[in-house]
């Protein structure tokens, strides 16, 4: 009887080890899909890795980002929570908080997004982008003074930052004597209105912080890539 018991306890860790190894393979495959912007396939592969017992902060983070790309914001927030709990790195947790804030922004929960952006900056004070996006949130809340304050803080911290040119143009518009919120709108890339009846644009680009810098480059035209293969392909 003892031999059987000992043999059993030897087999179980070996089986778990095999499952974890297979889970890592699905995680790596998910990363490949993710970098190719095939986000639906990435989601399936990451979930399979989790089912096989593979747990990693980056897995939760990438899965959350993949859900964002697929516009499933509630599931993204759930995965970001797991990612934050799975890592003790301040820089990583700051990125997670930033993305949680950004998803709240996408959900038009602007006050909540501002709170999350503040938390992200407390964890990682290198995240100057929080002031740019907090300014966007305050603008959409029609709070002109707070918008100006946040954008000016961004320019102080990052005078040559990625959005410094756009923000300077936007501030000139905000501070003009004829400015009103009904006349100007935030747009994704500062492009011109399609017709003369549309509101003139306020320059604005909305980023999502990402370890690989992938999601910041996602365009509407990429959405077709979400379903360009059958989901069953990930199990081959």
Mean pLDDT score, 43-48: 94
Give the pLDDT band of residue 204 (cuts 50, 70, 90): low
And the tokens for 141? 């809340």
119 vs 195 pLDDT, higher one: 119
Structure tokens at 51: 């089912």
**Per-residue pLDDT reduced to its tens digit, 104-123:** 999 999 999 999 999 999 99
With beta carbons less than 8 A apart as the criterion, state whether 45 and 232 touch. Answer: no
Backbone torsion region of residue 191, taken as left when φ is above 0, otherwise alpha when ψ lies between -120 and 50, otherwise beta: beta
Confidence of residue 50 (pLDDT cuts 50, 70, 90): very high
Main-chain phi, psi angles of 185, to 5 degrees: -130, 150
Q: What is the pLDDT of the chain when averaged over all its residues?
A: 80
Q: What is the dihedral of CA 148, 116, 203, 182, to 10 degrees?
A: -70
What lies within 8 Å, CB to CB, of 203 at 6+ separation is 163, 165, 166, 167, 169, 170, 187, 190
- Specify which residues 189 forms β-bridges with: none
CA angle centred on 63, ends 61 and 65, rounded to 5°? 70
Residue 196: pLDDT band with limits 50, 70, 90: low
Contact 79, 88 (CB under 8 A): no
- Residue 20: what pLDDT? 62
- Collect all residues with Cβ–Cβ distance below 8 Å to 189 and sequence separation of at least 6: 205
pLDDT at 91: 86
Q: Which band of pLDDT confidence, cut at 50, 70 and 90, is reported for residue 236?
A: very low
CA distances from residue 5 to 13, 15, 146 in whole angstroms, order as listed:
13, 16, 68
Q: Which of 6-15, 22-31, 186-195, 210-219 has the highest mean pLDDT?
A: 22-31
């Amino acid at each position: 009887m003892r031999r059987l018991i000992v043999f059993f306890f030897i087999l179980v860790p070996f089986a778990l080890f095999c499952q974890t190894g297979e889970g890592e393979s699905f995680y790596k495959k998910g990363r490949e899909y993710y970098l190719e912007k095939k986000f639906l396939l990435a989601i399936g592969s990451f979930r399979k890795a989790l089912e096989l017992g593979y747990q990693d902060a980056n897995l939760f983070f990438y899965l959350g980002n993949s859900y964002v790309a697929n516009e499933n914001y509630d599931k993204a927030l759930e995965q970001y929570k797991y990612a934050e709990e799975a890592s003790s790195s301040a820089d990583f947790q700051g990125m997670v908080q930033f993305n949680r804030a950004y998803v709240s922004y996408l959900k038009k929960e602007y006050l909540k997004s501002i709170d999350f952006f503040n938390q992200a900056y407390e964890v990682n004070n290198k995240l100057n982008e929080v002031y740019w996006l907090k300014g966007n949130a305050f603008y959409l809340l029609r709070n002109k003074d707070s918008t100006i304050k946040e954008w000016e803080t961004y320019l102080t911290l990052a005078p040559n930052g990625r959005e410094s040119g756009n923000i300077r143009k936007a501030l000139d518009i905000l501070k003009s004597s004829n400015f009103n919120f009904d006349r100007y709108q935030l747009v994704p890339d500062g492009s011109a209105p399609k017709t003369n009846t549309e509101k003139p644009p306020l320059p604005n680009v909305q980023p999502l912080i990402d370890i690989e810098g992938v999601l910041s480059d996602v365009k509407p035209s990429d959405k077709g890539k979400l379903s360009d293969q059958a989901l069953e392909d990930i199990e081959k």
